[in-house]
Amino acid sequence: MQFWKFSTLAIAALLASVSLVTAADEPAIALADSAVLKLTAANFKETLEQNPLVLVEFFAPWCGHCKTLGPQFAQAADDLSVSLPKVKLGQVNCVEEEELCKKHEIRGYPTLKLARGPYQQPDEYDGPRDADGIIDYMQKMSQPPVNIVADVASFIEKAKAEIKPFVVQVLPKAAHAASAALNETFGEIAHLQRRHRTHYSLEDDKAIKAFAKLTKADLSGDKAKYLLVHPGKLDDVRVFDSENLTQELFAEWVSNALVPDFGDINRDTYMVYMGSTLPLGYYFYNTAEERAAVEEFFAKKGKELRGKISFVGLDATQFGRHAEILNMDPEIVPLFAIQDNSNGRKYGVNQTEHPSPSTETIEAFIDQFLAGEAEAIVKSEPLPTPEDEDYDENVTKLVAHNYDGVLADESKNIIVEYFAPWCGHCKKLAPVWTELGAHYKDADESVVVAKVDHTLNDVDVPHNIEGYPTIILYPAHGAKDPKTGLRLGVVYDKGRDLESFKEFIELTKVSGTEEVADAVEEDAPEAVEEDVEEHDEL
C-alpha cells in the first residue's frame, strides 16, 4: 500500500537537465577502443555463453539519457576489464537491432539488464547509473550470493564491523541431510537480495555455538534457523520463526524485520519503512527534547510488539504536512497517528482532547488499535447533489461516504476513474469520460461509469494507485479478494479514446477478470499516467 513519497522529482529533473546539457556532445555509443562489447543478434547468445556476468545496455543513439549514461558506462567497463576481467559490459543499439530489443521487451531507453548465461532471461538492473556505482554493483553481483563461514573468529569480526543489516542462515550438522531444499531456497533469496544485504551461512556446530553466545539467541536444536541482524545490535537479533521457508514469506519477514524498534523517517530510511507491511505508528514532534522524552517508551513498545506494529518519529518542522495525509491537524504537535498499511486506513489520538498526548494516552490508544476497537478517521468529500458545480448526470461521483455502497451492487459492471484534480491527463480525459457515461446510460444500465477524487477520499482499492488517472473495471458478479473481501477489478492500460473504452468494457463483461487486458487490441495507443510522487508532500 503506497502511502507517501518524497518530493524529489524537481531536484531530480534539475540534475537530469544539467546532466543532459553536459552530456549533449557525448556519444551514446561507446568508442571502438573501449571495453564495452558491441552486441548484436548474431553474437548476443555466444557472448552470454562465454561470459558468466554481463550488464547489457539497450539504447538508441539519439536518446539524451543514453548520451548521459554513455561515458559512465564506458568508464565502468574499462575499469572492470582490469579489476574483474570476467565481468563484461555490453551495448545493444536498438535502432539497428530492433528484433533483439523487441525479444527482450525493451520499451524505453536506456534499459539495463543483468545477464547470467544465455538460457535465462536477463534480470532488470536496479543499480546506480554512474561509473563508481556500476562498478560497485557489478563487484557485488560477481560474488557468491551466500558466504559460507569457514573461520568463525573472522566472521564474528565481520559481523561486528557490518554497517548494514545482514542475514544469517544457521544450519546445524544434524539438519544438513534434510535441508537441501532449504539451502537452495536460501541461495535463491540471497541471489535476489545480494545488492541490498550480505548473506552468511553458519554450518559448523562450534561456529553456531560461538555466534549464539555473542548474540544471546537460542540457536539450539536440529533445524535450520534464519536471523536478521542490525548493525551494532548483535545481542538483539530477529529470528524467522516459520519452518516454511519460501521466497515470498521470507521477503515479507525481512521487510518488516528491517524496521528498527523506533527510528526516524527521513530520506535515508524512507525505503525501509516504505517496504514494511505492518501498521506504522507516527509520533510527530517539534523539538529534539520532545522526541527524547518518548524515545525509551517507543523503543520498548517497538520491541514488545515486533511483528504487529512499528513506530517511527517524524520531525514536524520538516515534514509536518504529512499529518494531513494521516487525516490529522499539522498545527497541533506533538501528535500520534497510526496508518494500517494493509488497507490504508488512518487512526489518531483525538487532538482536541489530547493536544499533546502523554505516553499513557498513546499506549492506551495502541492497545485499542491492536484490539480492533479504534475508529478510523475517514476523509471524504460531501455526498454529491445535482446542485454541485461539478455535477455530471452521466457519471456517478463517488466519495468515501458512498463508495462502498455503490461497489456493493454486484449486479453492475462498474468502471471507476481514480483521479487527482491537478492531473493534466485526467483533465484531458474528462470529456471522453462524460461521453462514455452518456453512452452506457442509454445502451446498458448494467454498466456504471464512475469517478472518484483519490486525493480527497479514503477508499479501499484492490490495486496500488501509483499514477493518475488509474482506471479499474469491476465486472458484475466477479471474484473477490479472499483476505479483504474487496471486489477484484481489471486495471485498464490501453488507449484513452471512447472506442477503446467501449471495446474494453464489452470484452470484460463477457470475459470477467481473467486475461481481459490481453483481449484488447495490441495496437491501441498506450495510456500515460502522471505519477503520484510528483505531488506528495514528504
pLDDT exceeds 90 at position 344: no
Residue 38 has, within 13 A of its CA and on its CB side, a CA count of 10
Q: Return the number of other C-beta atoms located less than 10 Å from residue 416's C-beta.
A: 26
Catalytic residue among 37, 55, 115, 423: 423
Distance (Å, whole) CA 260 – CA 230: 8
530 and 402 in one domain? yes
Distance (Å, whole) CA 132 – CA 139: 11
Residue 288: pLDDT band with limits 50, 70, 90: very high
166 and 180 in one domain? yes
Question: Looking at the 3D structure of the chain, how many domains does it have?
Answer: 4
117 and 30 in one domain? yes
Q: Look at 50-59, 168-177, 392-401, 498-507 and tell me which has the smallest mean pLDDT.
A: 168-177
Residue ranges making up the domain that contains 205:
147-257
185 and 119 in one domain? no
Active site residue 63: yes
Residue 342: pLDDT band with limits 50, 70, 90: confident
- The gap from C-alpha 70 to its chain's centroid, in whole angstroms, comes to 28
317 and 203 in one domain? no
pLDDT, tens digit (0-9, with 9 covering 90-100), for 491-527: 998 999 999 999 999 998 754 454 444 433 333 444 5
Which of 234, 257, 280 terminates a domain? The answer is 257
Q: Is residue 6 part of a domain?
A: no
Which one-letter DSSP state was computed for residue 486?
Answer: P
Q: Which residues contact 376 (CB under 8 A, 6 or more apart)?
A: 345, 346, 347, 458
102 and 166 in one domain? no
521 and 408 in one domain? yes
Which of 122, 142, 162 terminates a domain? The answer is 142
Q: Is residue 383 part of a domain?
A: no
pLDDT of residue 399: 97
**Cell numbers representing residue 497 in the block:** 479514446
Q: Look at 131-140, 241-250, 332-341 and tell me which has the smallest mean pLDDT.
A: 241-250
Catalytic residue among 9, 63, 239, 432: 63
Q: What crossing angle do the helices spanning 359-370 and 288-304 adopt, rounded to 10°?
A: 40
Q: Look at 23-37, 320-334, 378-392 and tell me which has the smallest mean pLDDT.
A: 23-37
Catalytic residue among 426, 429, 527, 538: 426
Q: Is residue 17 part of a domain?
A: no
Residues 400 and 384 sit within 8 Å (Cβ to Cβ): no
76 and 153 in one domain? no
Distance (Å, whole) CA 190 – CA 260: 21
Active site residue 426: yes
Q: Is residue 311 part of a domain?
A: yes
Active site residue 423: yes
Residue 440 has, within 13 A of its CA and on its CB side, a CA count of 26
Q: Look at 27-31, 206-210, 417-421 and tell me which has the smallest mean pLDDT.
A: 27-31
- The gap from C-alpha 519 to its chain's centroid, in whole angstroms, comes to 28
pLDDT of residue 530: 61
Q: What CATH number did the domain enclosing 351 receive?
A: 3.40.30.10
Q: Is residue 12 part of a domain?
A: no
Q: Is residue 412 part of a domain?
A: yes
467 and 364 in one domain? no
Q: What crossing angle do the helices spanning 64-83 and 131-142 adopt, rounded to 10°?
A: 50
pLDDT, tens digit (0-9, with 9 covering 90-100), for 183-217: 888 988 998 888 788 999 999 999 999 999 988 88
- Does the pTM of the predicted model rise above 0.75? no
Residue 118: pLDDT band with limits 50, 70, 90: low
pLDDT exceeds 80 at position 82: yes
Mean pLDDT of the chain: 87
Residue 90 has phi, psi (to 5 degrees) of: -140, 160
Which of 142, 168, 196 terminates a domain? The answer is 142
Residues 188 and 249 sit within 8 Å (Cβ to Cβ): no
85 and 26 in one domain? yes
pLDDT of residue 514: 47
Residue 83: pLDDT band with limits 50, 70, 90: very high
277 and 227 in one domain? no
Catalytic residue among 66, 131, 254, 328: 66
Q: Is residue 422 part of a domain?
A: yes
135 and 183 in one domain? no
**Cell numbers representing residue 500 in the block:** 477503446
Mean pLDDT of 240-255: 87
Question: How far does the chain reach from its first CA to its final CA, in angstroms?
Answer: 16
Residues 212 and 218 sit within 8 Å (Cβ to Cβ): yes
Q: Is residue 382 part of a domain?
A: no
